[in-house]
A and B are shown apart, each in its own frame.
Chain A
Amino acid sequence: MSVNPVLEAARPARQAVLAPRPFRFREWLERESVFSWLLLTPPLLFLIAFLGYPFCYGFYLTLVSRPIAQPATFVGLGNFEKLWADPIFWKAVQNTIVFTGAATVLKLVGGLGMALVLHQHFRMKGITRAVLLLPFIVPTVLSTVAWQWILDPGMGLFNRSLINLGLVTKAQAPSWLGNPTLAMVSVILVNSWRGLPFFGITILAGLQTIPPELHETATIDGAGTWGRFRHVTLPLLMPVILIVTTFSVIITFFDFQLVYVLTGGGPANATHLMATYAYSISMGGGQLGLGSAAALAMVPVLGAVLIFMNSYVRRT
């Protein structure tokens, strides 16, 4: 049997390949499947601890009657049945939908306008952009307390301005937080004021990604300002608008601080939202089970709102 010298020379190398390589920790770490999990684990643990566990515990609470400092008794869907028959709960659902809907539309329209203005070139653009972010940066509780003063009937900024401009007399000055309809208008306004920069800045970011060539082409084709906005800017902004609106709907839907500080859900439940009502059942009424059910009930309602929104956007 003749021996091929070339093959013989390669043998040790082949053997080395076939033999199990010693385990190297560093190499193991660098494997994509390991490394990606390594990066994912801390946030995952964080989410499980601070979101997963409370959510599951909250879900469990919805199925029991659990007064504070007392043992739980299983009631099945009893809590939801109670809520179903509770007129204040339905009032809160209605308020939450009106509040979220109106505030989101206001923020969207206002935010779009704000972004279009900020997209122009003018002096002190940077500072203006920073200042317009303020409502979003100031802690909600703090700004809401300021709003409480602004909306004060006798000495608040709103009514003082109305009186000084001669639009109303002192006796006619509106009660912003005392009239049930105006109270809802006020909380919607304050929420819109606070959320406007989020829309404005995000849409501005979207605007900046639209290539100027498209506008130039449209101009050459004879499109005016409105035409360019309607047929170039808006369609290209749509994905950004959809995302920012979805985020905003979720955040607005769960809003608690603003109403809690400004009206406590009053007068006569005119501004009670699902979140404030769930809180008052749990922490004020001591019914942790029923309160959790009211809180969890927000999820399907919000889901329905988001599905409706999504299908509407697709249709248009």
Chain B
Amino acid sequence: MDGTRRGFLKLSAAGAAGATIGAGWRPRKASAKPEKITFIRESSYVKEFDEHFNKVLIPRYQQETGIKISYEIVAAGGSAVPRNVAIVESKAPVDAGWVQQEWLYREGLLDVSDIAEAVGKEQGGYYPAITELSKWNGKWYSVPFGNIGQCMAYRRDWFEQAGFKKFPDTWDEFLDAGRKLKKAGHPFGMSMGHGYADNNSWLLPLLWSYGGQVVAKDGKTITLDSAETAKAVDYVRTLYKEACIDDCVGWLDPANNKAYLTDQISCTNNAMSILISAKRDLPETGKVTDHGLNPKGPKGRFHSLVAVTHGVFKHTADPEAAKHFLRWLMAPKQVGDWYRSAQMYHAPYLRGYDKDPEWNKEPRFKPYLELLETAKLISWPAPADRRAGEVVSKWVVVDMFAKAATGTPTKTVIAEAVAGLKAIYG
């Protein structure tokens, strides 16, 4: 108990020294402990992850501090962000939790610079791309956790039958493979619908790898209308027509998993979930499923981040207690096993886990670690602010490609996307 109390004191001191701690800050006695902290999180695709939290982490924290943790799980698949928005707006009694797309509500989060910096220092530092989301105007509003990586999941057997011993390295080879596989009755299924992850995670890297960019680093100049963008758009139109299943232009995030696992497609951009489900439920498919990095374009290879971070809500009744829990949770003793419990489904942003033995257990998951080197935020190179979020939630860029795929001329789709961007960036 003594150690804990000292921990509390230390954190209080660090918090007070940490200059601005939003409006929710009020001094408290180190001895006053809350009965319960509510921590919200999207339910994990890997059920062991939530089980580990419930069965190992919660009892351990309660034993060490006497404080109960209420783990509020929100259904996966897009309901966590609206829930967070509602929590911030209504000041619901939730103290801390998973914060995704925090560009929408960063102002509702507490400064957690002390925790983020301490955790980074302790565990090898962070991949730089994530700091552009978590760190804003010099302060950290969230503590980076892990990346629900996205790369190409493909059927090794069908690719081999079509003459591809290795996964295509360039977008041109990718198109070539797609043409052959579609002819063989195994089209690609590249999502272009109104989802969140599976569409952006290949369309944006493709755009970047052709040299196109949506908005410049200054967060003002709209740079989408370029010859490079036109090339990327033309490429997607051809890829869709000659290599893809028709349906993929309207797919939401779960659709490609369903199509892949029912043998309708031979390749798609996805998180680890396809292989995890296949190994569990369809072992034959599991054996022949593999992962490849996004192919290279003229300007190199890119991936995009599907970022998961943790933060403390500014309106929490007890900021110190919530911060104490987050600091405790992100300490190596806790967070390391938590990552491992989900087989690194959330690839750690902490470089200290790059050589973690867990990565060697299933070599087919390794691309999800490798892609972190070339991954950018989906706002890149513009700042990850609310406007970048609006571009994503209005599907401005995704729809540019989807319209081209369904027959609209390249010039028109780019002009329409630029008009959409102007409405957002003013």
Contact = CB atoms under 8 A, between A and B. Distances in A.
Interface of A: 67-70, 82, 85-88, 152-155, 175-180, 183, 263-269, 280-281, 283-288
A69 B89 contact: yes
Interface stretch (B3-11, B158-166, B249-257, B269-277): B249-257
Contacts of A281: 390, 393-394
A86 B406 contact: no
Given A266-B192, A269-B399, 11 more contacts: A69-B107, A87-B420, A153-B264, A176-B247, A179-B246, A263-B193, A265-B395, A266-B252, A268-B399, A284-B393, A286-B104
B392 A284 contact: yes
A175 B247 contact: yes
A68 B104 contact: yes
Interface of B (DSSP majority class): helix
B416 interface: yes
Contacts of A285: 104, 386, 389-390, 393-394, 424
Interface stretch (B80-88, B143-151, B283-291, B367-375): B80-88
B127 to A, nearest CB: 26
Interface string B211-247: 0000000000000000000000000000000000111
B258 interface: yes
Most B Cβ at <10 Å: residue of A69, A87, A268, A287: A268
A267 B82 CA distance: 22
A86 B389 CA distance: 17
Contacts of A69: 88-89, 105-108, 314
B194 interface: yes
Contact of B249 (A70, A155, A267, A288): A267
Nearest to B101: A284
Nearest to A286: B104
Interface residues on B, range: 35 or more
A155 B250 contact: no
A264 B393 contact: no
B406 A175 contact: no
Contacts of A263: 193-194, 250, 252
B394 A280 contact: yes
A21 to B, nearest CB: 52
B416 A87 contact: yes
B194 A265 contact: yes
Contacts of B314: 69
Closest 5 CB pairs of A and B: A284-B393, A264-B194, A69-B108, A285-B390, A266-B194
A287 B389 CA distance: 10
Given A154-B262, A155-B264, A267-B406, A286 B389 contact: yes
A266 B250 contact: yes
Interface of A (DSSP majority class): loop
22 contacts: A69-B89, A69-B314, A88-B420, A154-B259, A177-B247, A178-B246, A179-B246, A180-B406, A263-B250, A264-B193, A266-B192, A266-B399, A267-B249, A267-B250, A267-B402, A268-B402, A284-B389, A284-B390, A285-B104, A285-B386, A285-B389, A287-B390
A86 B396 CA distance: 12
B419 interface: yes
A266 B402 contact: yes
Contact of A266 (B81, B105, B395, B424): B395
B423 interface: yes
Given A82-B423, A264-B252, A267-B402, A286 B246 contact: no
Contact of A284 (B250, B264, B394, B402): B394
A152 to B, nearest CB: 7
A283 B392 CA distance: 12
Contact of B403 (A68, A177, A268): A268
Nearest to B386: A286
B316 to A, nearest CB: 14
Contacts of A266: 192-194, 249-250, 252, 395, 399, 402
Contacts of A152: 247, 258
Contacts of A85: 423
Given A87-B416, A178-B249, A269-B399, A283 B81 contact: yes
Given A69-B88, A178-B251, A268-B403, A154 B393 contact: no
A281 B423 CA distance: 12
Contacts of B259: 154
A266 to B, nearest CB: 4
B390 A177 contact: no
A41 B392 CA distance: 46
A183 B392 CA distance: 22
A88 B88 CA distance: 28
B248 interface: yes
Contacts of A154: 245, 259, 262, 264
